[in-house]
A and B are shown apart, each in its own frame.
Chain A
């Protein structure tokens, strides 16, 4: 059980002439919250897209729980135990909040055209999904908007709905892409508490992309810093904060 849950190994992603990620390697241990930080355009979301199989890296490999992830298509990642949220949301605006969360459990349910049309044993499964969604929404404090369509709800709320949808898949690894964006200062502190609780209550490993430095540093066990697609630091928050390369990437080297 020493093996890391997620191992990114020498991953390079090129879009035409642009190198979005260059020979990136790092590991996320089981039960960790790993922060992934870096200035805009550093390649954080690109890495997320590789792990959730939306992108195929140009070279390198990614292992999830010892299994080669790059041979797994995007739609199979949920069943494998990987769930994610999106920087700019990828919810279903015409569906209600509860239905969005129920879609999150798609991989774990079985109804098809025939059984659903004829209502063969579908009642139980749907009831189960519904109460699971309700539990998750209550857990995240979203029960008051459960039956409202997503369209028209505030951005910060929808970020939370996406977390609920991701949790509905019962993942082992949760990828969170800027969960604190669009939140007020007080809400950010609350979110940090929620994420800590989620990790222990759902037995999760979390990979977190976030610009809110205070939150990342307070929450993460380990922090990976990217700049222009390259890893420039990797270690505990205290270690990374002091790293001269990190300071330079964030503040610039204009002093010299």
Chain B
């Protein structure tokens, strides 16, 4: 088996990229044209979840900050869009920038105390946020806005426009819209992570002192990462209102927080595309587990349903052991056997080298940590 080397930015690389993204677009379109409405709601949910998972990935995967309570931002975004749309007559698209900015502002404020704590302590504090969210949403003082324990309904009118060259159901149009929003948000995040911004964020995660003496201001970059990731989670909540017309206090609660963590770990922390895989897993893994549990030998149909969460847990354990680093890391490692993409060497005339090239010795481990 030979590995193929492709230069980054070469024609061959471009062709593969076009094929990949074109393929994804074709799959999305095929889903919209062929799938029944009840499935379409699930696909729409995947698009919304993946945006939230991307937000989690920015702060945890890239930033290394254990902010586990992003369900609170997710729930916040849903409520904000539901309230603005249903009570204040703001259009759905109009609620999105408001949701992003409000999420970013709250994320920034919460990012300030997060500068002083890290690791397990930050995990605990942010999880507390997820625990507090349902209680706050249920408060009597807010029930006029939030609908109290019953949650808030907002049926958003979203019909396919007449200029579409093909006919789709309105559920399919919702799916296409959410996919388009998600694609734009993924592109923006990917651009940022490939730039000076991403390098600063990852440098802070890898070695804060090394980053600081290189000129990376820890407070600026950590709080801004917090703000951006919260904006993504809040936007995801807003987008979800298009797929599921109701938001309840538990939409921002502990279970959703755990769901988000699960999705991030399965997809692959610190990867952009892992968020999509995570979204797929979050939506279908529980359902598939139920199906698999029912198919287990020696158990009756009803026992199978009861065992579905156990199967779900077993699948999670299996993923963590077989694919440490998530599905995306696993696939990348697999791909590296067949094809390697090498970065392009910048076209410059380097000055005379004063030292002979060091021969890399990968077998040697670092002498010190």
A residues near B (Cβ < 8 Å) are 52, 54, 74-79, 83-84, 86, 88-95, 98-99, 102-104, 106-113, 116-119, 122, 125-127, 129-131, 134-135, 138-145, 147-148, 151-155, 157-158, 160, 165, 169, 182, 190, 193-194, 197, 201
Structural contact, A138 and B350, CB atoms closer than 8 A: yes
Structural contact, B351 and A144, CB atoms closer than 8 A: no
Structural contact, B213 and A157, CB atoms closer than 8 A: no
User: Contacts A111-B195, A117-B189: A139 and B213 contacting too (C-beta < 8 A)?
Assistant: no
In the complex, what distance in Å separates the CA atom of A153 from the CA atom of B358?
Answer: 11
- Residue contacts A-B, CB under 8 angstroms, 27 given: A78-B214, A83-B214, A90-B210, A91-B206, A91-B207, A92-B207, A93-B207, A95-B206, A103-B211, A106-B199, A106-B215, A109-B196, A117-B189, A117-B197, A118-B188, A122-B191, A122-B195, A126-B196, A139-B354, A145-B360, A152-B365, A153-B366, A154-B361, A157-B358, A193-B355, A194-B355, A197-B354
Closest 9 CB pairs of A and B: A107-B215, A90-B210, A78-B215, A131-B346, A92-B206, A116-B195, A138-B350, A141-B355, A155-B367
Of B73-81, B216-224, B274-282, which binds chain A? Answer: B216-224
Nearest chain-A residue to B354 (Cβ)? A197
Structural contact, A84 and B213, CB atoms closer than 8 A: yes
B89 at the interface (CB under 8 A from A): no
Structural contact, B366 and A145, CB atoms closer than 8 A: no
- CB neighbours (8 Å) of A165 from chain B are 214
Interface residues in B347-369 by Cβ distance below 8 A to A read 347-348, 350-351, 353-362, 364-369
- The residue from B199, B342, B347 contacting A103, defined by CB atoms under 8 A apart: B199
Structural contact, A93 and B356, CB atoms closer than 8 A: no
Structural contact, A89 and B346, CB atoms closer than 8 A: no
In the complex, what distance in Å separates the CA atom of A160 from the CA atom of B360?
Answer: 13
In the complex, what distance in Å separates the CA atom of A79 from the CA atom of B217?
Answer: 11
- CB neighbours (8 Å) of A117 from chain B are 188-189, 191-192, 197
B68 at the interface (CB under 8 A from A): no
The minimal Cβ–Cβ distance linking A84 to chain B, given in whole angstroms, is 6
- CB neighbours (8 Å) of A78 from chain B are 213-215
- The residue from B342, B356, B362 contacting A141, defined by CB atoms under 8 A apart: B356
New contact pairs (4) apart from A110-B196, A116-B198, CB-CB < 8 Å: A103-B200, A144-B357, A152-B366, A154-B361
- The residue from A118, A139, A141 contacting B191, defined by CB atoms under 8 A apart: A118
Most buried by A among B200, B228, B347: B200
Interface residues in B30-54 by Cβ distance below 8 A to A read none
The minimal Cβ–Cβ distance linking A95 to chain B, given in whole angstroms, is 6
Number of A-B contacts (CB under 8 A): 178
Structural contact, A143 and B357, CB atoms closer than 8 A: yes
Structural contact, B197 and A112, CB atoms closer than 8 A: yes
Structural contact, B210 and A158, CB atoms closer than 8 A: no
B339 at the interface (CB under 8 A from A): no
B20 at the interface (CB under 8 A from A): no
Structural contact, B202 and A94, CB atoms closer than 8 A: yes
In the complex, what distance in Å separates the CA atom of A144 from the CA atom of B215?
Answer: 27
Interface residues in B322-340 by Cβ distance below 8 A to A read none
- CB neighbours (8 Å) of A92 from chain B are 202-203, 206-207, 210-211
B317 at the interface (CB under 8 A from A): no
- CB neighbours (8 Å) of B1 from chain A are none
The minimal Cβ–Cβ distance linking A211 to chain B, given in whole angstroms, is 15
Nearest chain-B residue to A148 (Cβ)? B360
- CB neighbours (8 Å) of A75 from chain B are 212-213, 215-218
Nearest chain-B residue to A175 (Cβ)? B213
Nearest chain-A residue to B359 (Cβ)? A144
B165 at the interface (CB under 8 A from A): no
Nearest chain-B residue to A130 (Cβ)? B346
B343 at the interface (CB under 8 A from A): yes
Most buried by B among A108, A116, A119, A182: A116
Structural contact, B203 and A113, CB atoms closer than 8 A: no
- CB neighbours (8 Å) of B288 from chain A are none
Nearest chain-B residue to A108 (Cβ)? B215
Nearest chain-A residue to B8 (Cβ)? A147
In the complex, what distance in Å separates the CA atom of A135 from the CA atom of B354?
Answer: 12
Structural contact, B209 and A54, CB atoms closer than 8 A: yes
The minimal Cβ–Cβ distance linking B133 to chain A, given in whole angstroms, is 26
- CB neighbours (8 Å) of B207 from chain A are 90-93
In the complex, what distance in Å separates the CA atom of A87 from the CA atom of B252?
Answer: 46
Nearest chain-B residue to A104 (Cβ)? B214
In the complex, what distance in Å separates the CA atom of A160 from the CA atom of B357?
Answer: 11
Nearest chain-B residue to A109 (Cβ)? B196
- The residue from B196, B210, B368 contacting A116, defined by CB atoms under 8 A apart: B196
Nearest chain-A residue to B367 (Cβ)? A155
B298 at the interface (CB under 8 A from A): no
User: Contacts A111-B196, A130-B346, A152-B362: A138 and B353 contacting too (C-beta < 8 A)?
Assistant: yes
In the complex, what distance in Å separates the CA atom of A139 from the CA atom of B353?
Answer: 4
In the complex, what distance in Å separates the CA atom of A181 from the CA atom of B209?
Answer: 20
